[in-house]
């Protein structure tokens, strides 16, 4: 019997790099599928819908349906839904967050909402920030999809959601609940979604500070692959090591 | 002889409140003018030009020309000009910052600028933030007009420039040099502008955390007026007290 029957996989740097798939990862997921092992793609990207993610992965030849995807936007909606099923939410973000809120039947409200849910928004405006600050000062709870401070684009590192979120944090003095990696919330929701236990689940990712720390913070085993952000040298400086460290997923040995 | 021959005055809460003048302050400034004492209005508002400020004060019956105004935008331009007279600057802000940069003959440049100068911008966009982060990661120095985290509007407290600035700070990990109150930089520039000494200058304002701390941080005497932000009760909790504390400027006794 395999030691793990469920695998949580990061996307960029783990199964693809930018617009190209990582062949070892494609083969790895195909093997999971063939062996009937469960898997879920867990991404801090809040802007895309689960359908958009599944389409991209399918295009790489990776077996994936929208049900195999958990975005931070979906996790944010689940988190709010569990706390207050009829919550009114001022959500600020892109299509992925809007769809997640609608599918969770959480209604948009910008005057006296119960929650402010903030996600990456490349159409951010001062007016949106103002509404969020006024709502939080009036008592709305503050949730943010993920704490990433920087994102790569063609020109370099541009602001991530954690940086955009800080306007509200600094202005109101209220810290948000972050949902995405490295926070444990998204991992707990991932385990619920696929119906597995911590003991039988492995978190796989390329980024120590987000993917691996999410696993460590959740008390599940972790596998780092050196196909993305964190190099072997950088990994050696970390006080807590992942359970496994591999150059690529072709090195993983199934029983 | 008067103990002070130069007076630095805050605006909102000190000489007016919102759209209404504070009569005791109007009378005070008229007395300064009549006695030939120097004064300068020192404001953390970076969005307005010195002409706009002077027009508003004149409308209240306060003797004021554009030369009697120092905005954080003007101070930011002076600061950069003193450091590098031919600096190329990526400036992000409203009309007040744009005019200050142009009048200091500091040219706009969004590719490899020497400085990023950030000020309050109610037309802020993700693209502007991205350009700022890329420039700072490429070595541009980072200056921000003022650290205020919140501003009052009709609905409540909305984000101030210190909050908007934090996107860049959090994303790049680079702290800006803040120019405005409570930083001493703007006070040093104010003293230069009116040609006075620390010993003979009094800083007057209603906000302990910005106006009074700016004076304290600069080593000049301070006068708090309880016509705006800081109440007498709040003032009693502060470890360092201002030199003078008055209910209004009508209580000031000239020799």
The domain locations on chain A are 6-44+181-251, 85-178
Q: Measured at the alpha carbon of residue B29, what is the angle toward residues B27 and B34, in degrees to the nearest 5? A: 95
The Cα of A201 is separated from the nearest Cα of chain B by a number of Å equal to 32
Class of domain B84-178: alpha beta
Determine the residue of chain B that is closest to A167 in CA distance: B163
Q: Do domains B6-44+181-251 and B84-178 have the same CATH topology?
A: yes
- How many CB pairs below 8 Å do chains A and B form together? 106
Please give the CATH number for the structural domain made up of A85-178: 3.40.50.1000
ipTM for the complex shown: 0.95
Residue B186 above 80 pLDDT? yes
Determine the residue of chain B that is closest to A130 in CA distance: B158
DSSP line for B141-204: EEEES----EEEETTEEEE-HHHHHHHHHHHH-PPPEE-STTSHHHHHHHHHHHT--GGGEEEE
Residue B135 above 90 pLDDT? yes
Residue A129 above 80 pLDDT? yes
Query: What was the pLDDT predicted at A31?
Result: 97
**Cross-chain CB nearest to B162 (options A126, A150, A170):** A170
The reply to whether residue B158 touches residue A134, judged by beta carbons under 8 angstroms, is yes
Query: What was the pLDDT predicted at A18?
Result: 85
For the question of residue A12 being annotated catalytic, the response is: yes
Interface residues of A toward B, Cβ cutoff 8 Å, are 121-126, 129-130, 133-134, 137-138, 149-150, 153, 155-160, 162-164, 166-173
- Any alpha helices (H) in chain A, and if so which ranges? 23-35, 50-59, 72-83, 95-103, 126-137, 161-172, 185-194, 213-218, 232-236
**Cross-chain CB nearest to A170 (options B129, B166, B172):** B166
Chain A contacts of B168, Cβ < 8 Å?
Answer: 159, 163
For the question of residue B206 being annotated catalytic, the response is: no
Task: List, for residues B29-84, the tens digit of each pLDDT value.
Answer: 999 999 999 999 999 999 999 999 999 999 999 999 999 999 999 999 999 999 99
What is the average per-residue pLDDT within A237-254?
96
DSSP line for chain B: --S-SEEEE--BTTTEETTEE-HHHHHHHHHHHHHT-EEEEEE---SS-HHHHHHHHHHTT----GGGEEEHHHHHHHHHHHH-TT-EEEEES-HHHHHHHHHTTPEE-SSS-SEEEE---TT--HHHHHHHHHHHHTT-EEEES----EEEETTEEEE-HHHHHHHHHHHH-PPPEE-STTSHHHHHHHHHHHT--GGGEEEEES-IIIIIHHHHHHT-EEEEESSSS--HHHHHT-SS--SEEESSGGG----
Task: List, for residues B69-111, the tens digit of each pLDDT value.
Answer: 999 999 999 999 999 999 999 999 999 999 999 999 999 999 9
Rounded to 5 degrees, φ, ψ at A170 are: -70, -40
Of B5, B10, B68, B114, the catalytic one is B10
Residue A222 above 80 pLDDT? yes
Q: Does domain B6-44+181-251 have CATH number 3.30.70.270?
A: no
């Amino acid at each position: 019997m395999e030691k793990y029957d469920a695998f949580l996989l990061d996307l960029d740097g783990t199964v693809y790099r930018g617009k190209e798939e990582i062949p070892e990862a494609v083969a790895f997921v195909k093997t999971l599928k063939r062996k009937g092992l469960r898997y879920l793609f867990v991404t801090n990207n809040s802007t895309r819908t689960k359908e958009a993610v599944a389409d991209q992965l399918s295009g790489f030849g990776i077996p994936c349906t929208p049900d195999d995807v958990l975005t931070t936007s979906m996790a944010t909606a689940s988190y709010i839904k569990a706390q207050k099923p009829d919550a009114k939410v001022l959500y600020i973000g892109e299509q992925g967050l809007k769809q997640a809120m609608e599918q969770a039947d959480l209604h948009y409200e910008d005057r006296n909402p119960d929650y402010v849910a903030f996600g990456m928004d490349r159409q951010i405006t001062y007016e949106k920030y103002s509404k969020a600050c006024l709502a939080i000062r009036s008592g709305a709870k503050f949730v943010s999809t993920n704490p990433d401070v920087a994102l790569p684009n063609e020109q370099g590192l541009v602001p991530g959601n954690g940086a955009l979120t800080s306007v509200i944090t600094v202005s109101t003095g209220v810290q948000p609940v972050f949902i995405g990696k490295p926070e444990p919330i998204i991992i707990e929701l991932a385990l619920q979604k696929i119906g597995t236990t911590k003991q039988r689940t492995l978190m796989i990712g390329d980024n120590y500070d987000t993917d691996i720390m999410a696993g460590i913070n959740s008390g599940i085993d972790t596998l780092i692959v050196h196909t993305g952000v964190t190099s072997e040298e950088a990994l050696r400086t970390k006080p807590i090591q992942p359970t496994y460290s591999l150059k690529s997923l072709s090195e993983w040995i199934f029983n």
